[in-house]
Structures are given as C-alpha cells and as structure tokens.
Amino acid sequence: MPKRSGSLIARAGSAGKIASGLLLPILAGFFLGNYLDKRLGSAPWIALLLIMLGVVAGFGWLYKISTEDEDDE
C-alpha cells in the first residue's frame, strides 16, 4: 500500500485554514459594510466595496500561503 503524505487530520486542518482564510475577510467586509451603509445611508456601496476588498485580501492571503508552501519543499 503506498504511503500517503500527511495524515487526514493534517489535510483537514489545511483545508480549514484555506477555507477560513478566504471566507472570513469576505464576511467581515459584508457585515462591516452593511453596518456602515445603515449608519451612513449609502446602501449598498460601502458593503460592495468592502466585499470586493475582502475577496482581494482572501486571494492575496491564499497566494501568500501557497508560495510559502512551495518554498518549504
């Protein structure tokens, strides 16, 4: 039987790290944007801007960790 690289728990941890790194900035942008839009009466523009920034931040973070993993090999 071939040996697998990394345990199931380690791979699940990596998947969770990637999912949370992409999801959390987007959700933060959504909730903060909605709050600011309600306070300032500018719906939906601040929320859309912060969601887009969250997407960029999430993919930037994903790129950063993917290049760090390549350097470790």
Domain spans of the chain? 20-72
Contact by Cβ (8 Å): 59, 22: yes
Tens digit of pLDDT for each residue in 18-47? 999 999 999 999 999 999 999 999 999 999
pTM, two decimal places: 0.79
| Residue matched to tokens 């390549």 | 70
Tens digit of pLDDT for each residue in 46-68? 999 999 999 999 999 999 988 88
